[in-house]
């Protein structure tokens, strides 16, 4: 296989960095990302400190970083706003958290397909994120939805949301591993965060995170292998996304208990290891 791993950092994850990173400017954030060896950044347009496209575009160009856009979309106008932002920063992909709901997946699949085609016409790839409080909130409903969607539509797989929303047990079980594997089979990219069945984002050095770190690394290997198998010439994208509060755990004084920037770099290394070992995983699952 000749595919490569592209590591991206969420700009939302650069907000409110504790201690020495307090009040870091946009210029400094971009420089930190570039110096750390990332390929690019992803901008959540709903984030409290989402930058204006005109401010971000020259910084990305100067740093040699690529851009991506994340949008929580309810309407066509939301997709169009994301497309305009993507055009201004030179991004070639959009991650869509679709805030559309219903018990029948068929009309929802129709809307998502319309949004996807809207992006295709603009020359942009759109991936559907697995995220709580969106159309992909429920794991089993998501599997049914994916069966109705055009096979070109891939997911940005953030499995932390399923672990937390479904209170997935620590011990693997077919009840959950099988549908997760079906989601990973449609992955176009992966997102990095360690969750437990009760917390969406846990510090990497806490004892509670140990079994889940191993579990997520296994899922990432599987996801990487699936992408490499289906797209052997296309780079594989992984986004580190350790969010600020309320995702980040704080002490009784409201102080974050972990260094999210240091943990982002640790997640990068975990992704590199999972990617490197995904060749063996892929060969074992032919």
Strands (DSSP E) along 130-281, which ranges? 154-157, 187-192, 236-240
d(CA 139, CA 38): 30
**Region 174-180: what's the mean pLDDT?**
94
Q: Which two tokens stand for residue 217?
A: 């690394």
SS3 70: strand
Residues of the chain with pLDDT > 90, as a percent, come to 87
Residue 3 above 70 pLDDT? yes
Distances (CA, A) of 255 to 18, 149, 258: 8, 43, 9
pLDDT at res. 208: 83
Task: Please state the φ and ψ torsions of residue 77, each to the nearest 5 degrees.
Answer: -60, -35
pLDDT tens digits, one per residue of 98-113: 999 999 999 999 999 9
In angstroms, the first-to-last Cα distance of the chain is 14
Residue 286 above 80 pLDDT? no
277: enclosing H helix or E strand = helix 260-284
Q: Which two tokens stand for residue 170?
A: 């620590």
pLDDT tens digits, one per residue of 122-173: 999 999 999 999 999 999 999 999 999 999 999 999 999 999 999 999 888 8
**Region 49-73: what's the mean pLDDT?**
98
pLDDT at res. 22: 59
pLDDT at res. 206: 86
Q: Domains, the chain, ranges and CATH?
A: 5-279 (3.20.20.150)
pTM across the whole model: 0.94
pLDDT tens digits, one per residue of 240-275: 999 999 999 999 998 888 999 999 999 999 999 999
């Amino acid at each position: 296989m000749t595919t490569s791993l592209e590591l991206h950092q969420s700009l939302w994850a650069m907000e409110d960095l504790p201690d020495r990173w307090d009040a870091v400017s946009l210029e400094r954030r971009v420089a930190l990302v570039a110096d750390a060896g990332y390929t690019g950044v992803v901008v959540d347009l709903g984030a409290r400190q989402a930058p204006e496209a005109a401010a971000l575009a020259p910084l990305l160009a100067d740093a040699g970083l690529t851009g991506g856009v994340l949008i929580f979309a309810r309407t066509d106008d939301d997709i169009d706003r994301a497309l305009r932002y993507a055009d201004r920063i030179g991004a070639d992909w959009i991650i869509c958290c679709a805030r559309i709901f219903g018990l029948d997946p068929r009309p929802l699949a129709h809307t998502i397909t319309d949004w996807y085609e809207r992006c295709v016409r603009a020359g942009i790839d759109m991936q559907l994120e697995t995220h709580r409080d969106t159309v992909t909130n429920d794991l089993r409903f998501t599997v049914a939805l994916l069966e109705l969607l055009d096979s070109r539509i891939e997911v940005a797989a953030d499995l932390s949301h399923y672990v937390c929303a479904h209170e997935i047990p620590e011990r693997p079980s077919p009840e959950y591993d099988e549908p997760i594997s079906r989601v990973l089979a449609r992955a176009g990219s992966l997102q990095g965060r360690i969750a437990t069945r009760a917390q969406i984002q846990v510090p990497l050095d806490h004892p509670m995170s140990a079994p889940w770190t191993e579990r997520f690394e296994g899922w990432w290997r599987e996801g990487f292998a699936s992408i490499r198998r289906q797209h052997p010439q296309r780079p594989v994208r992984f986004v580190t996304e350790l969010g600020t509060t309320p995702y980040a755990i704080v002490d009784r004084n409201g102080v974050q208990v972990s260094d999210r920037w240091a943990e982002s770099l640790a997640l990068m290394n975990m992704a590199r290891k999972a990617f490197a070992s995904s060749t063996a995983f892929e060969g074992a699952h032919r």
